[in-house]
Structure 1
Amino acid sequence: MSLTLQPVTESDIPSLSELWYKSFSIPINLLMFPNTPGIRAWWNEANGHDLLHNPHRKYLKVVDPVPVPGAVVAYAKWDLDPQHSGARFPEWHAESHRETCDLVFTVLDEEKRTFFGERRFYYLDMLVVDPAYRGRGAAAMLIQWGCELADQEGVPVYLDAHIDAAPMYRRFGFNDREDKVVTSEGAVSMIREPETK
């Protein structure tokens, strides 16, 4: 049986937080979001609120029916209207390193707003893959979902990738922003213009 793409459900939310820490435990992330019960509860609440109450934000998961049926091995958070979907995150948790969170995410959000102005775009907010499933097509399924929808709507797609993941996104037609250098945190902003069939 192969990997399958499905909508995230409310019961999946704790699995998303678990997968985030399994996949993204690099120093800058753990500085901003220490792996504590309080921060995990914050992640669960933030994702759960978006899933249930924000129609612009779409959560998708990839599941592997073997060996654990329904186990989430990858997920993506797509924002289909970033200019009108509200704040990307709720107020930072008390255990977060607020200054670093503000510095990193304020800069990234301002870059998007400045670059697009009033032009509509999609934002691939989050793409997380279990390290054991990298290279098995899970990321491709999640990226392709949003790219195909963006092509149908005729809108570009934007993302901020870790520099190590940039080559994967280039295979889907993303290009580095020529006017933006890699940040000190190793993030590179990329854009994909819609493709016409």
Structure 2
Amino acid sequence: MHLQLCPLQLEDFDELVSHAASYPPGDDLVGPPTPICCLVKTREEAEARLTFHFNKQRSRFTGDPTVRYMKVVETTNEKSSIISIARWHFYPNGYNFDTQIHWETHNHIPGQRIPQGFNIPLHNHILTTRDGARSSWIPANAPCWILMHMVTQPSHRGKGAAGMLIKWGMEQAERDGVPAYLEAGVMGMPVYKRYGFVQMGDVLEVELNELGLDMVFRICLMAYFPARWKGGGDARVG
């Protein structure tokens, strides 16, 4: 087994959708919060979810100048396959919610097929709340890197792919001398801490009861400060 880190290519989106035919339903690279907003039990449902999800990602790949998609490919004697992806962003003038949030939310497009059972209001609420909170902990108008999406196929976790994608972003932050930020699930926070990220303030709690899900979505706000960064880190905890 050999793992290789490299930029994601436009044609890779077809392979990512094809995972529905190669793996059990849900063993794919659709990242949070989509899995809790659109449950799948059959290959047909998995393919519909993957197609919908990666059509959005494909449009972002071609249209969002801030984005840097990276992938980890596993090569064995039999084949090579993408097992993990990340979507890092570089904002030379700082992150702006008003101009960027449309990339995260699913907005109605005439003729677009939405997978049956996809709770779009729930999906949009989680990401709008997450991204809207950035002004409270990420300095305005300050250059930064942000990790907004990273997922490894469940059947391939524990091989080191996530670490390769995390370290890639940290290397960009070190090169540019700017912080790197991310929002992590509570279960994923120890992974990022292992690589040098620190928690910033309190956990962000997103109430979902009014949107069809009896739970609270908890998000850890995290940052990595490179050695050359001249700012302060007063908000960090833990």
Normalised-by-shorter TM-score class: 0.7 to 0.9
What is the 5 A alignment of 1:60-139?
60-81=70-91, 82-83=95-96, 87-89=102-104, 90-91=106-107, 94-95=114-115, 96-116=118-138, 117-139=140-162
Distance 1:176 1:94 in 2: 36
**Is the CA contact 2:205–2:218 (under 8 Å) kept in the aligned structure 1?**
yes
SS for the counterpart of 2:62 is helix
The aligned residue for residue 45 of structure 1 is: 55
Deviations 1:172-193 (A, max 9, x none): 1111122444552132121111
Structure 1 segments (4+ residues) deviating >4 Å: 17-20, 23-28, 92-95
AA matched with 2:68: K
Aligned to 2:37: 32
Identify the match of residue 174 of structure 1 among 185, 197, 201.
Answer: 197
Q: In the alignment, is the contact (CA less than 8 A) between 1:160 and 1:190 conserved in 2? A: yes
| 1:124 partner letter | L
Shift of 1:107: 0.9
Larger relative helix fraction: 1
Residue in structure 1 matching 2:169, options 137, 142, 146: 146
For 1:193 and 1:156, locate their aligned partners in 2 and report how far apart those are by CA, in whole Å: 5
Could you report, residue by residue, the CA deviation over 1:3-39 in whole angstroms, capped at 9, with x for unpaired residues?
A: 1011111221144454894257899643423443544
Shift of 1:155: 1.3
Given that 2:31 and 2:151 are in contact with CA atoms closer than 8 Å, whether structure 1 keeps it comes out as: no
Higher mean C-alpha deviation, range 17-26 or range 87-96: 17-26
Number of the residue aligned with 2:187: 164
1:186 to 194, 218, 224: 218
Q: Give the match's secondary structure for 1:164.
A: coil
Identity %: 23
Q: 1:62-120 deviations in whole A, cap 9, x for unaligned?
A: 11111543300111111112436563324167443132123211110111133222222
Which residue identity is paired with 1:88?
W
Whole-Å separation in 2 of the counterparts to 1:56 and 1:110: 18
2:29–2:84 contact (8 Å) kept in structure 1: no
TM-score w.r.t. the length of structure 1 is 0.84
Partner SS for 2:69 = strand
What CA distance in whole angstroms lies between the structure 1 residues aligned with 2:64 and 2:48? 23
How many pairs align?
Answer: 197
Q: Which runs of 5+ in 1 are unaligned?
A: none
TM-score, L = length of structure 2: 0.71
